[in-house]
Each structure stands twice: as structure tokens, then as C-alpha cells.
Amino acid sequence: MRLLPALVVVACVATFAAGCSRARPGPDVIRVPQDIETIQEAIGQAGSGDIVLLDRGTYPGKVVVPADRAGITIRGVDRNDVVFDGRDLRPFAVTVHADHVALENFSAHNFRGNAIVWDSVRGFLGRYLTVWNVGGYGIYAIDSTNGRLVNDLSSGAANSAFYIGECDPCHTVLTHLVARFSGIGYSGTNASGDLVVRDSVWDRNGTGILPNSYNEEAHPPQARALFAGNTVRGSGTVPTPATDPLGGFTGIGIGIAGGQRDVVRGNSVVGSARYGIVLYPTLQRGGTTWAPAGNVVRDNTVRRSGVADLAIATGSGGGNCFAGNVADTFLPPGLGSLFHCSASAKHPGDPRAAHDLAVSSPIAYARAGPRPPYTTIPAPPRQPGLP
């Protein structure tokens, strides 16, 4: 009797992945450069559940994970010593077009565009990543859902350090992140539904956290996101790069720019150059607006803001409410006495906040004045690696 070949069974645990079945036998770990010389060649050999393991060294970037490489992991052996260096010449470090791909435990810096990208995928994971000094976004997920970013740091991004955009519902969590010295810490254009940004540090960015609604992107308006337990400090107090007009809205700790039914809860916002937490409409091409409506701002501590700790601009919609916050300054002044949230809550808003913020993004960008190049931002210190 002829014996059948043994079947190789591979089990993997990943909350972001729908499944880890292997379509063919193959190595569990593909080491670069020991087993295969380049990352791109290793990706071409990897199957679902495999790990492309990068040894210490400097890599040029411009790595693409095609759609048929679903379920792989690209992992560095050391977060600080596995480095993608774009030398301010290359457009990106890693772009992923496949579902359920994890990127872990490496660094990337000096790319002209976005450092790390997931584009139109279902399921993504980025953890223990360090990005600094890029001309676009640091860590970027567009039209992508069922994701998780955790224990990442992004610094000196000329657009935003972290971006989630054009998803509804997003089903995505961002937690234990650090964003620093970037045009915007978190930007989320039309990112809606089961989106959570929590327990993270947003340090001396042009603006800390800015979900926003714009018709130029898919799925407007932005809605139904939670921003909780974050520490936002020094927004707009130091020069930061900005290559996108949205980066003109500086000096804001947390802004809801045309968002609907968002919750801003239990955050600490300190030392913003203009506004601690503010709601304002976004002006669209053609003169229409998305007015923030149905948003809840509750139980936050906001201090030492240059214009106002809590503010809502003229032109905002109904159902916005502020309750249980600890703050000193308000626009309009009566905003601090509104402590009961209800579906009918409405406040007329303040014209100064509208003058400052309810303008087109190109106007806001022009008002912000010259900004330093992303190449001038100091590199971050070494970061803790994957346990």
C-alpha cells in the first residue's frame, strides 16, 4: 500500500484576519536576505500564513504587496535596526493591496510620499512601526476596513502622522499610538462607523486629531467615530511641515470638521495654540458645507488653549452637546453651562470660531503661513520593539 504524503497544518492567530488557510505547502518563515535576497522576491514566494522576516539592515523601500498575497506578515527582527530609507528620493516604503496583511516591527523614514499604505483591503494590522520625516502620510489606510494600528509612532509627516479615510463602516481601531511634529496627528476624511481612536499621545502636531468631511473623497460625511482617552498636547505651538491644505487648520487639539454623531470622551487636551476642542463646518467646492451635527463632547479635561478650551462655530448643525467637561474658556461664552445632552440640543455657535475655521482649506493653508520642510524635523528616539 502506498502511503499518502503527510499534510502540513499551519495554525495562526490574528484577530484582523478572516482565515489563515494555506493553499500550498511552503515555508513558515522566509528570511531576508538569508533565504531570499530581496523583500519583493520573498513576497512573491510567500503564501497565506507565512512570515517574511527582515534581518537588521537598511532597505530601499518601494515594496508592493500585490492583491494575490493575502494573509502574509512582513516583520523586522528589530524595530529600530530594520530600516526602510527613502533618501528623499523614493515615493513610499511599503504599499499593500492584499487583504489581511500585517506589517510589524520596523522603521521607515525620508520618503517623498506616504511611508506605509494599505489601499482598498479588508483586514490590516500595523504594530510596532516607527515612521519619521515623510512628505505625505506616515501610516495610511484608504478605502480599507477591519484594521488595527497599535503601538506605532509617526513623526514629521507633512500631511498627517496617521490617516484612515473613505470607509463606512471602517471597523477599525487605533490605540497606543504616538504622533508628533506632523501637520496633523490623526486625519480621517469620511472615515465612519465602528472607528475608534483611543489611549494615544498626540504631541505638538499642527493639529492633534481632525476627523473631517469632504465631498472630494468617497463616503461623505464623516460620522460615528469615538475619540476617547487620548492625550493631546501643544497643538500648533511648534513649526510643523504641511503639504496638504487641510494642514492649514492649525492650533486645534481635537476638531470635529463637519462630522456627524461622533463622540469625544475622556480626553486630556492641554496647551493648544488656538482651540482645545472645537466643532466647525467644512466648506466644500461650490460653496456648500457639511455642518457638524449630533456630536457629543463629554467628560474631557481641556486647559490653557490660546483662544478657547471648548468652542462651536456659527453654522454648526443641531444635536451637538457638551457635558461634564473641565475647561476654563468657551466660545460662545454660554457653552460652558450646557451640561445636559439631548437629541434637541442646539447652540447658535460663535462667529469668531467660524471666521477662523469655517473657511475653505486653501484659505486656511494660506493663512497658516510658511511651514518647515519635513526633512528638518528631528528623528525620534529608539522605540520598544515587538515583545
pLDDT in tens, 31-73: 999 999 999 999 999 999 999 999 999 999 999 999 999 999 9
Mean per-residue pLDDT over the chain, rounded? 92
How do residues 240-272 score in pLDDT, each as one tens digit? 999 999 999 999 999 999 999 999 999 999 999
* Phi, psi (deg, nearest 5) at residue 365: -65, -40
- Domain membership flag for residue 329: yes
Amino acid at 272: S
- Domain membership flag for residue 6: no
Question: Domain of 227?
Answer: 113-376
Q: Is residue 131 predicted with pLDDT exceeding 80?
A: yes
Q: Is residue 285 predicted with pLDDT exceeding 90?
A: no
Q: What's the structural domain count of the chain?
A: 1
Average pLDDT over residues 190-207: 98
pLDDT score for 264: 98
- Domain membership flag for residue 323: yes
Q: Is residue 185 predicted with pLDDT exceeding 70?
A: yes
- Domain membership flag for residue 23: no
Q: How confident is the model at residue 26 (pLDDT cuts 50, 70, 90)?
A: low
Q: Is residue 320 predicted with pLDDT exceeding 50?
A: yes
- Domain membership flag for residue 306: yes
What does the alpha-carbon distance between residue 176 and residue 337 come to, in Å, rounded to a whole number?
33
- Domain membership flag for residue 126: yes
Contact 20, 71 (CB under 8 A): yes
pLDDT score for 99: 98
Average pLDDT over residues 80-91: 98
HSE-CB at 182 with a 13 A cutoff on CA atoms is: 36
High-pLDDT (> 70) share of the chain, %: 90
- Domain membership flag for residue 334: yes
Cβ neighbors of 162 (< 8 A, separation 6 or more) are 137, 138, 139, 140, 149, 152, 154, 174, 177, 179, 185, 186, 187
- Domain membership flag for residue 46: no
